[in-house]
């Protein structure tokens, strides 16, 4: 699947009270038809979210909502200029200065402009950096020479290398999953679905019990932690605190697929040998002590059952 990677300048990451458009950090990036490259962003593209100083992470566009909007543009008072390249000054008067004609003035001309507003959602496949990277990490990654664009295309190979360097194993797994993804037909369909009753309360109970801690990888932002059952919920639709663990979302997927488990004899993690052979960076998840206080450990019987099922699958996969 061909996908573009974009650097997206958002002010919400640094100053939520002064957000650009209706950005939601980790969930939504908004821009309008006045922004260069607004037509180029597509579902499936990667958005690298940055502010003036830091790169905070990246997400995959899963939906783009479009609606008409009226934008208030601040312009130069010079009738022969009317440039939007004006800046407020913090300590000098007049308060504004035009970067193009150099006119100085106290208040800009306000112009209403009909625009199309785009709202790109990326929450499901959002991966925040554990430590934000400096914006200069994008030097040499941009595909073009323009420097003022809110949305700038990145070179795919260089962007992948930059993301792997700054996000490590998380990005390695994330990008591998994306590389294998096939194009998905869009649209909507009405359907009846089963929803787990009490799942949110179960997660809240586990957060109270364990804190914002993944049982394999340790302390994590609570937004990336899932409440994982040690048993098949479809067969046993109940929530038992000693039958659950908090796991980071990607680790949860591995756990549900029996690719990672805990040895109840040692309370240390075990990763499927075949997976370790193909992905040596997963070694950091192998043989890790469970990050749970001894007195709060889950049911040994349930851990034994999961461990046994995982080992049976590994033997079948040889």
Residues 159 and 291 in one domain: no
CA angle 148, 168, 271 (to 5 degrees): 150
Beta bridge partners of 47: 6, 59
Tokens of 245: 């663990």
What's residue 193's pLDDT? 44
CA distance 229 to 232: 7
Residues 148 and 9 in one domain: yes
What's residue 191's pLDDT? 45
What's residue 120's pLDDT? 92
Tokens of 192: 């009846």
Whether residue 278 lies inside any domain: the answer is: yes
Averaged pLDDT in 10-residue chunks for the chain of 318 residues: 85 46 82 90 92 88 88 87 85 90 92 87 85 88 80 92 81 71 52 59 89 93 87 68 88 88 95 88 92 92 92 78
CB 313 within 8 A of CB 231: no
CA distance 187 to 181: 18
The pair phi, psi for residue 101, each rounded to 5°, is: -100, -5
Whether residue 131 lies inside any domain: the answer is: yes
What's residue 16's pLDDT? 40
The pair phi, psi for residue 74, each rounded to 5°, is: -95, 125
What's residue 297's pLDDT? 93
Q: Which domain holds residue 103?
A: 66-116
For residue 242, give every residue at least 6 positions away whose Cβ sits within 8 Å of its Cβ, in sequence order, or none.
Answer: 298, 299, 302
Residues 258 and 310 in one domain: yes
Residues 22 and 111 in one domain: no
Whether residue 191 lies inside any domain: the answer is: no
Residues 146 and 243 in one domain: no
CA distance 239 to 233: 8
Whether residue 183 lies inside any domain: the answer is: no
Residues 83 and 210 in one domain: no
What's residue 274's pLDDT? 87
Residue 51 CB neighbours (<10 A) = 18
What's residue 318's pLDDT? 64
The domain total for the chain is: 3
For residue 10, give every residue at least 6 positions away whose Cβ sits within 8 Å of its Cβ, in sequence order, or none.
Answer: 19, 20, 23, 25, 29, 49, 50, 51
Tokens of 88: 């407020």
Whether residue 187 lies inside any domain: the answer is: no
Tell me the chain's radius of gyration from C-alpha atoms: 24
Residues 224 and 128 in one domain: no
Beta bridge partners of 266: none
Whether residue 185 lies inside any domain: the answer is: no
CA distance 202 to 227: 7
């Amino acid at each position: 699947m061909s996908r573009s990677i974009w650097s997206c300048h958002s002010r919400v990451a640094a100053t939520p009270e002064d957000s650009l458009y209706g950005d939601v950090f980790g969930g939504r990036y908004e821009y309008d038809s006045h922004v260069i490259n607004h037509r180029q962003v597509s579902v499936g593209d990667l958005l690298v979210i940055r502010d003036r100083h830091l790169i905070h992470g990246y997400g995959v566009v899963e939906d783009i909502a479009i609606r008409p909007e009226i934008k208030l543009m601040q312009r130069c008072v010079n009738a022969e200029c009317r440039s939007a390249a004006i800046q407020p000054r913090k300590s000098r008067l007049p308060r504004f200065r035009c970067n193009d004609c150099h006119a100085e003035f106290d208040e800009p001309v306000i112009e209403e402009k009909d625009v199309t507003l785009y709202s790109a959602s990326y929450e499901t496949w959002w991966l925040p950096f554990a430590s934000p990277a400096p914006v200069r990490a994008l030097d040499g990654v941009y595909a073009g020479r323009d420097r003022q664009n809110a949305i700038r295309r990145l070179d795919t190979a260089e962007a992948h290398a930059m993301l792997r360097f700054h996000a490590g194993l998380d990005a390695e797994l994330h990008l591998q999953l994306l590389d294998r993804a096939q194009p998905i037909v869009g649209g909507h369909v009405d359907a009846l679905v089963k929803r787990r009753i009490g799942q949110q309360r179960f997660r809240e109970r586990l957060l109270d019990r364990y804190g914002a801690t993944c049982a394999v990888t340790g302390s994590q932002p609570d937004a990336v932690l899932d409440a994982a059952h040690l048993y098949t919920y479809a067969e046993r639709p109940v929530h038992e605190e000693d039958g659950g663990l908090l796991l980071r979302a990607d680790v949860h997927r591995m756990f549900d697929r029996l690719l990672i488990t805990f040895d109840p004899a040692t309370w240390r993690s075990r990763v499927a040998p075949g997976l370790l052979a193909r992905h040596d960076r997963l070694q950091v998840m192998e043989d890790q002590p469970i990050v749970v206080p001894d007195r709060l450990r889950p049911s040994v019987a349930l851990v034994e059952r999961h461990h046994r099922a995982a080992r049976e699958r590994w033997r079948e996969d040889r």
